[in-house]
Structure 1
Amino acid sequence: MRRPTSETPDYIRGSNGVWGFGCRNFYVAAIPRADACRMVIANHYSRRIVNNSYVHLGVFLDGQRVGVLQFGYSMNAMHAGKVVANTGPTEHLELNRMWLDDAAPRNSESRALSYAMKYLKRACPSVRWVQSFADERCGRLGVVYQAANFLFLGSHLTAFYTLDGETYHSMLLTAHRKAGQRGEYLRANLNRAERHRLRQFRYVFFLKPSARRDLRMRPRPYPKPPGDGATAPAPPPASGR
Structure 2
Amino acid sequence: MERNNHLLLEIRELPQTEAVAFIRSYHYSKVLPRLIKYYLGFYADEQLLGVVTLGWGTQPLQTIKKIFPKHDLVTASYLEIGKMCFLPSENHNGYFGSLALSTLAKWLRENTGCLFLYTLADGIMGKCGCVYQAANFRYLGCFTTSVYRCMATGEKIHPRSAGQLLKENAALEGVQKKCWLSHEFCAAKGIEKINGRMFRYIYPLQKQARKILDSYPQYQGLHYPKEKDLFFARRTGERQYIQIAQPTFNRDVCQYNPQSYGTDKEV
Q: TM-score range by the shorter chain?
A: 0.7 to 0.9
RMSD: 2.6
**Deviation digits for residues 23-42 of structure 1 (CA, Å, limit 9, x no counterpart):** 86332222122211121122
Give the structure 1 partner of residue 194 of structure 2: 196
Write out per-residue CA displacement over residues 49-79 of structure 1, whole angstroms, 9 at most, x where no aligned residue.
Answer: 2221111111123321021000002332121
C-alpha distance in structure 1 between counterparts of 2:166 and 2:147, whole Å: 11
Distance 1:44 1:144, change over 3 A: same
In the alignment, structure 1 residue 225 sits paired with structure 2 residue 227: yes
Match status 1:56 vs 2:39: yes
Whether the 8 Å contact between 2:33 and 2:57 is mirrored in structure 1 is: no
Equivalent residue, structure 1, for 2:98? 110
Matches within 5 A, 1:136-175: 136-163=123-150, 164-170=153-159, 172=160
Equivalent residue number for residue 183 of structure 1? 163
Percent same amino acid among aligned pairs? 28
Question: Structure 1 pair 200/187, CA: closer, same or farther in 2 (3 Å)?
Answer: farther
Q: 1:12 aligns to what?
A: none
Question: What secondary structure, in the 3-state scheme, does the structure 1 residue paired with 2:31 have?
Answer: coil
Q: Which runs of 5+ in 1 are unaligned?
A: 10-22, 173-178, 227-231
Letter in 2 for 1:63: E
Confirm or deny: 8 A CA contact 1:168 1:186 kept in the other structure. no
Q: Quick one: higher RCO (CA 8 Å, sep 6+), 1 or 2? A: 2
Find the aligned partners of 1:118 and 1:61 in 2 and give their Cα distance: 16
Counterpart check, 1:91 vs 2:74: no
Distance between the aligned counterparts of 1:141 and 1:167, measured in 2? 19
Secondary structure at the aligned position of 2:132 is classed as: helix
Q: Structure 1 residues 205-214 or 114-123, which shifts more?
A: 205-214
For the Cα contact (< 8 Å) 2:124–2:195, is it kept in 1? no
Please give the alpha-carbon distance, in whole angstroms, between the structure 1 residues aligned to 2:89 and 2:157: 29
Q: Separation in 1 of the partners of 2:12 and 2:33?
A: 20
CA distance in 2, matches of 1:234, 1:103: 29
CA distance in 1, matches of 2:9, 2:127: 24
SS at match of 2:88: coil
Equivalent in 200, 204, 207 of residue 205 of structure 2: 207
Deviations 1:188-212 (A, max 9, x none): 3742221011100000001122123
Q: Which residue of 2 aligns with 1:81?
A: 65
More helix, by proportion: 2
Deviation at residue 234 of structure 1 after TM alignment? 7.6
Normalised TM-score (structure 2): 0.68
Question: Is contact 1:41-1:49 (8 Å) kept?
Answer: no
Q: Is the contact made by 2:39 and 2:54 (CA closer than 8 Å) also made in structure 1?
A: yes
Structure 2 distance, partners of 1:77, 1:141, is 23
Give the TM-score normalised by structure 1: 0.75
Alpha-carbon distance in structure 2 between the residues aligned to 1:48 and 1:201: 19
Q: Does the CA contact (< 8 Å) of 1:25 and 1:63 recur in 2?
A: no
Report how many aligned residue pairs link the two structures: 203
SS at match of 2:20: helix
Q: 1:75, 1:110 → 2: CA distance?
A: 27
5+ residue gaps, structure 2, are: 170-180, 233-238, 240-267
Structure with bigger gyration radius: 2
Structure 1 residues 188 and 40: alpha-carbon distance in aligned structure 2, compared to 1, 3 A threshold:
farther
Look up the SS of the partner of 1:90 in the other structure. helix
- Cα separation, 1, equivalents of 2:225 and 2:120: 13
Contact 1:40-1:48 at 8 Å conserved across structures: no
Instruction: Find the counterpart in structure 2 of residue 17 from structure 1.
Output: none
Which residue, 78, 100, 104 being the options, matches 2:86? Answer: 100
Instruction: Determine the structure 1 residue equivalent to 2:244.
Output: none
Q: Aligned partners of 1:24 and 1:149: how far apart in 2?
A: 20
Query: CA 1:138 to 1:62, structure 2 compared with 1: closer, same or farther past 3 Å?
Result: farther
Distance 1:24 1:77, change over 3 A: same
CA separation of 1:169 and 1:234: change in aligned 2, threshold 3 A: closer
Letter in 2 for 1:223: P
8 Å Cα contact 2:40/2:52 also seen in 1: yes
